[in-house]
Amino acid sequence: MCGITACAAPDDEDVLDTLVDGLRNLEYRGYDSSGVAVRDDGAVTVVKREGEIDALAAALDDVAPAGNVGIGHTRWSTHGAPTDANAHPHTGCADDVSVVHNGIVENYAALRGELVERGHSFTSDTDTEVIPHLVEQYREAGHSTEEAFRKAIGRLEGRFAVAMIVGDEDDVFAARDGSPLVIGVGEDRRFLASDVPSFLEHTDRVAFVEDGDVVRLSADEHEVTDVNGNPVDRPVQTVDWQPEDAQRDGFDHYMLKEINEQPAALDRAIKGRITEDYDVHLEEFPPGSFADVGTVHLLACGTSYHAALYAQQLLADRGVPAQVFSAGEYTTTPAPVRDDTLVVAVTQSGETADTLSSIKIAADRGARTLAVTNVVGSTAARVCDDALFIRAGPEIGVAATKTFSSQVAVLALLAERIAEDVTGEIDPDREALLAALERLPDHVEEALDRSPAEALAPQFTDRDEQFFIGRGVGYPVALESALKFKEITYEHAEGFAAGELKHGPLALVTSDTTVFAVFTGRHDEKTLKNVEEVRSRGAPVVAVAAESAGEVAEAADEFLPIPDTHPVAAGLLANVQLQLVSYRVADLLGRSIDKPRNLAKSVTVE
């Protein structure tokens, strides 16, 4: 949440356009307000505006600060309403110290009170504003800028990433404790950002900042030290992403682009991980890697939680004890772990605050930890004992699409490896399952090409509510589909296990309730009974099932076909169809699809 960007360029260059472009590339992290601060000729000029980045760009048409060093910020509000005053960057009393911040300063009230007593005046309601005032105070006391920055950071409690410029120096100062930061290494300049897409069009060479690091960055070099000033090595590596991965490429929305990128994302996810004779080949986890595992805990939030539920179902089918926990709940009510507990943290960004806190709790209790994530170098990948990457590429749309599919595909392979190691048995169904996973990219392409979702969408724009139901792996798909629908249409939607309808939710079903039913080819006869239950109460039913499922098609009012495949893969294909339904309905309703209200992509605060 919140996006930080910064750039230090040669003396004769202007970084303003680079900062604004970087903010546009990070707008998925927050879009309540935005701003930039640029240093030139010994002064810092700040321009910031409430609203999306277009509002900032319009303001910069009138006042365009020029300079070779600058910082920028796009905000998701935590402390203070989204207003011009509360937008970042923030300055001290003299306006020569400018700061952007991602996270929460938990002790800001005490710090603010102390600073007010010392004569400092504040102009915003944010927790961030205490930081430039602290730096200003320490500089006035005779400390160097770097010393003042370190002392100020040392006073903060909570999770944060901070970047700062001052009027009389050409460097960017930064620190991290819990919120992501990454350095970009260009040919003649350096970048700093919350996420790689901010500067990907300029460089793919990066160094990941870790918790406790302090950074000093100029155009031609960067230095990373620990809290005591000792140098630390943060190796420069190349990310396997392309600049066009962070662009819309002619699609109306990033979400639609990313839905259509799923065949390629799935191909990357499974490439080299299924052998010619249909065995699982995970380079990170050869056979026997999980022989000492007795139980599996899966931790996740949001869409990743639904992917974890999918994996739990696969493990349970193979006789492996597995439980799924909401990471936000695990932090306060952690489950007991044993010496043989494997904790799998599922997190797209690898920076989700609740998930990282849960990982620490599990590790402290002696559990082995494994991160399933999209981002090499992310905190989750670094702090866990092991990591498995989903290789989905950048996902810009706030509503997750291709990362869910890639997570499930990779988790299916991981579940198969764990099950074989734990049980010592090869599933008789393994070849059929792995063959279906291999065909997923082509099957998703086929589903996308032939989807009737656009034609059906108009009838779902004025319904009272939408229910999504499913069994087995169809249940997490129902939950995920309901989440997508409510995220981007702002209409009421709920997902249920199909058998649970008659235990309460059926009371809400009327003729104005659309029921989307997911059929995977397993236990379809039971789900058909649930379809009849809602149809008898006047609710129209949209069934998602294999093309050959004639009985299902006849029982439904509308039919979204998917290619015939294994039940495990059928859930993912059904999910693709329902992603398209949500997208098309949201588009007809004129919603802000890529930037849904009140939401942000990477939740880095608890």
Same domain, 442 and 461: no
Residue 134 falls inside a structural domain: yes
Same domain, 51 and 160: yes
Q: Quick check: helix, strand or coil at residue 192? A: strand
Same domain, 443 and 496: no
What's the full length of the chain, in residues?
606
Q: What is the mean pLDDT of the chain?
A: 94
Same domain, 304 and 373: yes
182: CATH? 3.60.20.10
Asked whether the beta carbons of 437 and 410 are under 8 A apart, the reply is: no
Same domain, 53 and 165: yes
Distance separating alpha carbons of residues 270 and 127, to the nearest angstrom = 44
Asked whether the beta carbons of 198 and 191 are under 8 A apart, the reply is: yes
Which of 450, 483, 517 marks a domain boundary? 450
Distance separating alpha carbons of residues 486 and 253, to the nearest angstrom = 17
Taking alpha carbons only, the member of 330, 335, 334, 332 closest to residue 347 is 330
Residue 47 falls inside a structural domain: yes
Checking if the pLDDT of 601 tops 90, the result is no
Residue 249 falls inside a structural domain: no
Asked whether the beta carbons of 443 and 565 are under 8 A apart, the reply is: yes
Same domain, 273 and 193: no
Query: In the structure encoding, which two tokens stand for residue 539, read together?
Result: 């609710």
Catalogue the active-site residues.
2, 601
Residue 595 falls inside a structural domain: no
Residue 597 falls inside a structural domain: no
- DSSP letter string over 103-120? EEETTHHHHHHHHHHTT-
User: CB count, 10 Å around CB of 27?
Assistant: 21
Same domain, 166 and 259: no
Same domain, 161 and 198: yes
% of the chain with per-residue pLDDT over 70: 98
At 311-357, the pLDDT tens digits run 999 999 999 999 999 999 998 999 999 999 999 999 999 988 899 99
Which of 397, 419, 450 marks a domain boundary? 450
At 349-408, the pLDDT tens digits run 998 889 999 999 999 999 999 999 998 889 999 999 999 999 999 898 999 999 999 999
Residue 31: pLDDT band (50, 70, 90) is confident
Confidence (pLDDT) at 242 = 73
Sign of dihedral through CA atoms 405, 353, 196, 487? positive
At 46-94, the pLDDT tens digits run 999 999 899 999 999 988 899 999 999 998 777 678 888 999 999 999 9
The structure's pTM equals: 0.85
Q: Is the peptide bond between 89 and the residue preceding it cis, with omega within 30 degrees of 0?
A: yes
Same domain, 26 and 112: yes
Which of 217, 244, 271 marks a domain boundary? 244
Range of the domain at 13: 3-244
The number of distinct structural domains making up the chain is 3
Residue 434 falls inside a structural domain: yes
Checking if the pLDDT of 303 tops 60, the result is yes
Confidence (pLDDT) at 606 = 56
564: CATH? 3.40.50.10490
Burial per residue of 73-104, b for 16 or more beta-carbon CB atoms within 10 angstroms, e otherwise: bbbbbbebeebebbbbbbbbbeebbbbbbbbb
Same domain, 205 and 226: yes
Checking if the pLDDT of 106 tops 60, the result is yes
Same domain, 385 and 478: no
Distance separating alpha carbons of residues 99 and 105, to the nearest angstrom = 13
Residue 603: pLDDT band (50, 70, 90) is low
Checking if the pLDDT of 605 tops 60, the result is no
Checking if the pLDDT of 36 tops 80, the result is yes
Q: Which residues contact 338 (CB under 8 A, 6 or more apart)?
A: 294, 295
Residue 600 falls inside a structural domain: no
Same domain, 213 and 64: yes
Confidence (pLDDT) at 153 = 96
Taking residues 139-163, what's their average pLDDT? 95
Residue 377 falls inside a structural domain: yes
Distance separating alpha carbons of residues 299 and 42, to the nearest angstrom = 49
